[in-house]
A and B are shown apart, each in its own frame.
Chain A
Amino acid sequence: MIVSAIDVDKLMLMAQQMSQGVATTLSLFILTLLFAMPLGLLVSFGRMSKNVIVRNVTKFYISVMRGTPLMLQLLVVYFGPYLLFGITISPSYRFPAAVISFSINYAAYFAEIYRSGIESMPAGQYEAANVLGYGKGQTFFKIIFPQVVKRILPSVTNEIITLVKDTSLAFAIAVLEVFTIAKQIASAQTSMVPYVAAGIFYYLFNYLVAFIMERVERKLNYYH
């Protein structure tokens, strides 16, 4: 009886701590998407720019973002201000640092996905819009981009699912997201349960992501 009461207390405490982690993971995920997706579009424009300097700078940016570990980028963004400029960093910078590193990293991947979609568009679509008198911006946002979205949706889904799991890397700078907390509780209680709970959380989260994206894909299936 006593043992089970302690267990219930422990579980309650664990659930409470984990739920705080869930909120942090969710904000990290949403904010990253919010910044990375538009930023990625900007980067893809740079990558396709006619200007050689802009194109090569962007190319270098993408190659660094893709060519080095996300965890390393996380540490550089978090500790960089102190190690490079001696600026004291407070724990409140942890979460913003995670959002920044995830955003600039994912922007590079999104940029290449956008580029693949944009470059796969037939020239005829641009020509038809041009002859009809659409401006450059109108052509892109009314004619090209909506079709690009449909083409790249499967790749974007992939990327979003990876992001859900990658948020766990924020444990490297002690952001109190699901994985960090699970790890803390698991060590404190020498229990496997927090890891299992975290695993179930990530799985369900991604199940939901896949479900929503499938809906979106189906919604765009009215033409091909």
Chain B
Amino acid sequence: MSVLSMKNIFKSFQNLDVLKDISLEVSEGEVVAVIGPSGSGKSTLLRCATFLESVDAGQVAYLGEAVDFRKKASIQRAKGCFGLVFQNFNLFPHYSVLKNIMDAPVTVQKRNKSEVYQQAIQLLDKLGLADRTDAYPCQLSGGQQQRVSIARALAMNPKILFFDEPTSALDPELTGEVLKVIRSLAREHMTMVIVTHEMAFAREVADRVIFMDGGIIVEEGTPKEVFDQPRQERTRQFLRNYSGL
């Protein structure tokens, strides 16, 4: 089943065309890695999928239901389908770890507080943060903050989780602990779209890899196809900068 469907998406900022007729389908349980140079439109694609940017043209659908951008209810319903993990976490600094995770399910989804609490504790336990429930974001390392933000997204029970360069703000050691979490989510067949510069990780965890450049999808396929036998010269050229793949 298709969880996310983006069709013929166009987006430009002033005179700069950032997305030129991009289409993307993500099926349930699929892990898609989006790679490409800076400015290729990867992040803009995620921001359009999560409504942080409006599209100039094209259609976005979640679970087969096309989003009507003129209707708030339609947008709000679609928002219930996805979660987004940011590059720089964007945790709420004035809330404790527990409150960061629990607040949206309780205030936005109006779910039962004790049920949400149970879920939050389970998530924190799973992400190795069981002892940090009462800490504030400023007391955590970057890796811990990113794991909290993953827990915050998961607590909304999304059908699909987007990651916008989730490890770009972290040093290699902290990157490892965050990748470990994403890897375990992949094993549980969480549907995910991951924008990343971690090529080895993309290759290992993704079912499908998309290479973007200049606002278009240059090439896509299985990690083996894209990394080992890239058909496009531009892909080869880009991958040459990453050794040891």
The dominant DSSP class at the A interface is helix
Please indicate the chain A residues that have their CB under 8 angstroms from the CB of B138 in the complex.
223-224
The dominant DSSP class at the B interface is loop
Q: When the two chains form their complex, are residues A138 and B107 in contact, meaning their CB atoms are under 8 A apart? A: yes
B137 within 8 A of A: yes
Counting chain A CB atoms within 10 Å of each CB, the highest count among B51, B79, B88, B90 belongs to B90
B128 within 8 A of A: no
Please indicate the chain B residues that have their CB under 8 angstroms from the CB of A143 in the complex.
92
Contact of A131 among B84, B109, B137 (CB under 8 A): B84
Given contacts A130-B52, A133-B109, A222-B136, contact A125 B94 (CB under 8 A): no
A147 within 8 A of B: yes
Measured CA separation A117–B152 after assembly (Å): 26
Q: When the two chains form their complex, are residues B86 and A127 in contact, meaning their CB atoms are under 8 A apart? A: yes
Measured CA separation A147–B91 after assembly (Å): 12
Contact of B83 among A127, A131, A150, A223 (CB under 8 A): A131
* A-contacting residues, B120-136, CB 8 Å: 136
| B contact residues, range | 20 to 34
B37 within 8 A of A: no
Measured CA separation A133–B92 after assembly (Å): 14
A134 within 8 A of B: yes
* A-contacting residues, B148-173, CB 8 Å: 152, 156
CB distance from B149 to the nearest CB of A (A): 8
A124 within 8 A of B: yes
Q: When the two chains form their complex, are residues A131 and B50 in contact, meaning their CB atoms are under 8 A apart? A: yes
Please indicate the chain B residues that have their CB under 8 angstroms from the CB of A81 in the complex.
none
0/1 interface trace, chain B 62-88, chain A, CB 8 Å (1 if under): 000000000000001001101110101
Measured CA separation A133–B155 after assembly (Å): 13
| A contact residues, range | 20 to 34
Q: When the two chains form their complex, are residues B52 and A127 in contact, meaning their CB atoms are under 8 A apart? A: yes
Measured CA separation A154–B131 after assembly (Å): 34
Q: When the two chains form their complex, are residues A223 and B90 in contact, meaning their CB atoms are under 8 A apart? A: no
Please indicate the chain A residues that have their CB under 8 angstroms from the CB of B86 in the complex.
124, 127-128
B93 within 8 A of A: yes
0/1 interface trace, chain A 135-148, chain B, CB 8 Å (1 if under): 00010001100110
Q: When the two chains form their complex, are residues B92 and A125 in contact, meaning their CB atoms are under 8 A apart? A: yes
Please indicate the chain B residues that have their CB under 8 angstroms from the CB of A134 in the complex.
104, 107-108
* B-contacting residues, A102-161, CB 8 Å: 122, 124-125, 127-134, 138, 142-143, 146-147, 150
Q: Which residues of A contact B (CB under 8 A)?
A: 122, 124-125, 127-134, 138, 142-143, 146-147, 150, 222-224
8 A-B pairs with least C-beta separation: A128-B90, A124-B90, A132-B104, A133-B108, A223-B136, A131-B84, A133-B79, A223-B93
